[in-house]
Structure 1
Amino acid sequence: MPQPRPAAVANSLELLPSCSSRAHLEEAASPIRAREKWSRSVEFVLSGVGFAVGLGNIWRFPYLCYKNGGGAFLIPYFICLVTGGVPIFFLEVGVGQFMSEGGITAWNICPIFKGIGYGTTVICFFLNIYYIVILAWAMHYFFNSFTSDLPWATCGNWWNTPTCFQHGDNSSMSSESPNNASQGGVTEVVSNLQRKDAVIEYWENKVLGISTGMDDVGGMQWELAGTLFLSWLLVYFCIWKGIKSSGKVVYFTATFPYVMLTVLLIRGVLLDGAEEGILFYLKPDMSKLQEAQVWIDAGTQIFFSYAIALGCMTALGSYNEFNNNFVRDCILISSINSCTSLYSGFATFSVLGFMAKEQGVPIETVAESGPGLAFIAYPKAITQMKWAPLWSVLFFFMILLMGLDSQFVGVEGFITAVVDLYPSTLRKGFNREIFIAIVSAGSFIMGLSMVTNGGMYVFQLFDYYAASGMVLLWYCFFESIAIGYFYGANNFYEDIALMIGYRIYPWLKYCWLCFTPLVTMGILIFSLASHHPLTYNRTYVYPNWAIAIGWTMALVPMLTIPIYFVWHLATRPGATLSQKWQAAITPIISRPDTTTKAAEESIAPA
């Protein structure tokens, strides 16, 4: 049911002075700080790349590619990309730029669906709490790489057990641990026990100090608490001055990881076994396309890697000038994002191929996804290289930069949404800086639960439920429905033309109306049908009370949409349901920045 743009809205677009921005109007009317804009369009592009291109490109896409048929996986990947991921990506940036508002108030474009804005802001808040813990882990490894011998390469440390073994250690069943030395220096012969890699013991015993489960919180891992604090300090000073500071930081944080990735790729392809690893990564298996799980993995990877349904892309778009050609920018960001996923796969599997050949095992036994790749598999491979500390420093520096720009853009997205909701309070004086400090401090305190001995279980609970593929698919479905059917796909196409000066081809319109809702809801239904209880390392099963907390984190933002929908409709003025409905779907648009009759007449055809 596309709605014609109300006359009041259309008139307001024409009556505003030409080329007068909202920032100028606010500045003249009140002491409230003017809303910022990007200094250059390239800052938006770099920020978009920095947020969308993250650790998932490094540790999730390559694994899914090999697991789901190698090169054949690219077929469902690109189908889901052009029908689901890219249309929502364009939609969020376009709404942000047109409304010049953050993730909540931008949905005044379709007020009855403003619950989308509130819900995505909640998801973004959850994401910011747990994602930065990865930076704390990476910072720990980075600092401990400045040594002649990497500490995770050997046994015989206080965190090792009698079952520890290291690369090149073929003395099958005996080792000595510090615990044995403290008991009179007697060497125990460990027999018939499962041996454990030194790299895994460093990760589990030294870094995580992992406990037995969710109900065993244990003590604080003080080194991780320190690196978590340093990570939040970095994030705060990246964004405390708004896009004036973050827009400059991304020149380095969004580009230098590609230098590091290229260096690691060159090193990787020169290793013995690299060719086998790359062939394993890309070897097509067309039979996999018949499996529903392959399509589910392709769809969820798209929505993860494009960082949509979080309100952050809307926030980034809101800082664009009204006439910025965001279509060109989005095409560039999308291309860089997907190409980075492919590119990083070569770097990852060249190293895994080398690792498999060194150990004489199949590649699938060393290929991992998630933190296991960054903090177990890759560090283990590095220990087998010459100049291991150098490669370790470079690798974890890259991880830090890729995680840092994703994190501070995520925090900026949350801050922007709340500040735009209360501009008269939070844009005055130093209120914004103080608010960022409060949010950072509060998030740090909540994140401390993830750097205890039981912290990994808390982290995985957040990762599995709070910002899961299921939640993101739910929001992508409703975003396309809201714009396609309630605001009107044709209306939004005209808004895009008003902003960029020409009409684009109607593919995105068809996606918002048909393909995107079908793809997102289809994948969501299949995901729920194949849903499995959360486990850790396939052995620890989460207790029911923890699962209940997880589902609460997922359902609270998901239910925001229908609850707000009903509340907003019920509270609209009008004597009849029809009058209330009309009031509920009427856009609340205060202005575009440059909207004149002449601008509308100058729009070029597609």
Structure 2
Amino acid sequence: MDENESSSRGKWKNKTEALLSCIGYAVGFGNVWRFPYLAYKNGGGAFLVPYLLMLFLCGIPLFFMESALGQFSSTGCITVFKICPLFKGAGYAIIIVNMIASTYFNLISTYPIMFLTYAFNDPLPWSSCDNYWNTKDCIKLKVDGAGTQVNDSIYRNSSRTVVKTPADEFFHLEILKISSSIEEIGSVDSFLLLCNIISWIIVYLCIMRGIQSVGKVIYFTVSFPFVILFILLIRGLTLPGAWDGVYFYIWPEWKQLGNLKVWADAALQIFFSLGPGWGGIVNISSYNDFKNNCKLMILHLTLLPTSQTTVKITNLLYPSI
């Protein structure tokens, strides 16, 4: 690529934008959802041993390699394979996979928009069993000094074998509108479709000016989730029995280290956490200055406390119902 093409492609305005973009790319759904579940399933605190080992042996070297390739070539994940034309098809495969992934990732982003609209209702629709979508299996919870628990009087006086909370039925019956079987496809939900369109419009507004608009948006999109997670952390730790949950969750089960599946899950989680092989790192780094110290940027990412520890405390340490 000549100098004119490189300058017309654009660059990050400063190193902060480049660093924040990498943080936003690395701290995503793979951390928020999948990591806490894997840690709980694979020995609690003991899971950190194979995870950190895979992070330093696989994750960071791959992240550095893709960062260096993108920064050196100043091209995307297709033209970067000019260094080895035999693998150029891998670049097209990355684009196809990202096209598929972006559809369901954006649908996941649609649900918060729906929840936001319902949150303005009083009372909240997921706080009672008096809504049109609730079934006879719905049982309201009560809150007292001992925490949240099932209303024992209602449960004892019923012949129910299945108990569902209002929040459970709200999500499955009102938000997802889940059908009785896979044979029943159902129809298009107009409200969900509208929220999905709004979500795509937001995505377009973020990227419509290319690197210039993305560089401004990431200041909010990267910092806001950490603020919310910190608020949830404080809220979770102040609930009754929270510290018992912390102890139960992170207590290491060292015998799990002898299970090869635990090590495989740790290695696989690296690709969900840092995202190597998806083309995002190459694209982000391609907007760096050619003489940027990408090794220092990766060091900052490594030392930065990610949302994994925060999320696993906030999501899994609420007192069980």
Which of 242, 245, 249 aligns to 2:210? It is: 242
The structure with the larger Rg is 1
- More relative contact order, 1 or 2 (CA 8 Å, 6+ apart): 2
Distance 1:142 1:56 in 2: 23
Matched, 1:346 2:313: yes
Q: CA deviation at 1:196?
A: 1.9
Q: Measure how far apart 1:335 and its partner are.
A: 3.5
Q: What residue ranges of structure 1 are gaps of 5+ in the alignment?
A: 1-20, 28-32, 175-188, 360-606
Distance (Å, rounded) in 2 between the aligned partners of 1:164 and 1:85:
45
Q: CA deviation at 1:43?
A: 0.7
Aligned 8 A contact 1:208 1:221 in 2: no
Shift of 1:26: 3.6
Whole-Å separation in 2 of the counterparts to 1:335 and 1:224: 39
Q: Which residue of 2 aligns with 1:53?
A: 27
CA displacement, residues 489-515 of structure 1 (integer Å, 9 cap, x when unaligned): xxxxxxxxxxxxxxxxxxxxxxxxxxx
Q: Give the alignment of 1:91-490 within 5 angstroms.
A: 91-168=65-142, 169-172=151-154, 191-336=159-304, 339-350=306-317, 352=318, 355-356=319-320, 359=321
Q: Which residue of 1 aligns with 2:4?
A: 25
* Residue 571 (structure 1) aligns with: none
Give the secondary-structure state (helix, strand or coil) at the position aligned to 1:296.
helix
Q: Which amino acid aligns with 2:227?
A: V
Please report how far the alpha carbon of residue 213 of structure 1 lies from its aligned counterpart in structure 2 after TM superposition. Answer: 3.9
> 1:41 — aligned with what?
15
Contact kept in structure 2, 1:165 and 1:197, CA below 8 Å: yes
Q: Provide Cα deviations, 1:157-201, integer angstroms capped at 9, x if missing partner.
A: 100011111112334359xxxxxxxxxxxxxx9635422221111
Q: Deviations over 1:111-164 (max 9, x none)?
A: 111122111111111110111111111211122112342211110210001111
Q: Secondary structure at the match of 1:62?
A: helix
Q: Deviations over 1:33-83 (max 9, x none)?
A: 911111111111111111211122222212211221111110100111111
Quote how far apart the aligned CAs of 1:88 are.
1.2
8 A contact 1:265–1:346 mirrored in 2: yes
Tell me how large the CA RMSD over aligned residues is: 1.9
2:237 counterpart letter in structure 1: V
Q: Is the 8 A contact 1:62 1:281 kept in 2?
A: no
The alpha-carbon distance between structure 1 residues 148 and 45, as it changes in their structure 2 partners (threshold 3 A), is: same
Q: Distance in 1 between matches of 2:183 and 2:102?
A: 24
Secondary structure in 2 matching 1:60: helix
* Counterpart code for 1:122: I
Q: Secondary structure at the match of 1:253?
A: helix
Percent identical residues: 38
Aligned with 2:52 (options 56, 63, 78): 78
Equivalents in 2 of 1:207, 1:247: separation in Å?
Answer: 33
1:537-552 paired onto structure 2 within 5 Å: none
SS of the residue corresponding to residue 159 of structure 2 reads coil
Task: Structure 2: give runs of 5+ residues left out of the alignment.
Answer: 143-150
Q: Distance in 2 between matches of 1:220 and 1:50?
A: 32
CA distance in 2, matches of 1:44, 1:71: 32
Looking at structure 2, the residues matched to 286 and 151 of structure 1 have their Cα atoms a distance apart, in angstroms, of 43
Residue 121 of structure 1 aligns with an amino acid whose one-letter code is I
Alpha-carbon displacement from aligned partner over 1:450-498 (angstroms, at most 9, x marks no partner): xxxxxxxxxxxxxxxxxxxxxxxxxxxxxxxxxxxxxxxxxxxxxxxxx
Q: Judging changes above 3 Å, is the alpha-carbon distance between structure 1 residues 207 and 243 closer, same or farther for their aligned structure 2 residues? A: same
C-alpha contact 1:97 1:314 (8 A) present in aligned 2: yes
Partner residue in 1 for 2:145: none
Matches of 1:311 and 1:291 in 2, distance apart?
A: 32
Residue aligned with 1:161, SS: coil
Deviation for aligned residue 1:340 = 2.0
CA contact (8 A) 1:70 1:281 kept: yes
SS at match of 1:255: helix
Q: TM-score, normalised by structure 2?
A: 0.92
Distance in 1, matches of 2:164 and 2:231, equals: 31
Check the 8 A contact 1:69/1:286 in 2, yes or no. yes
2:301 and 2:244 mapped to 1: Cα distance?
31
Partner of 1:164, secondary structure, is coil
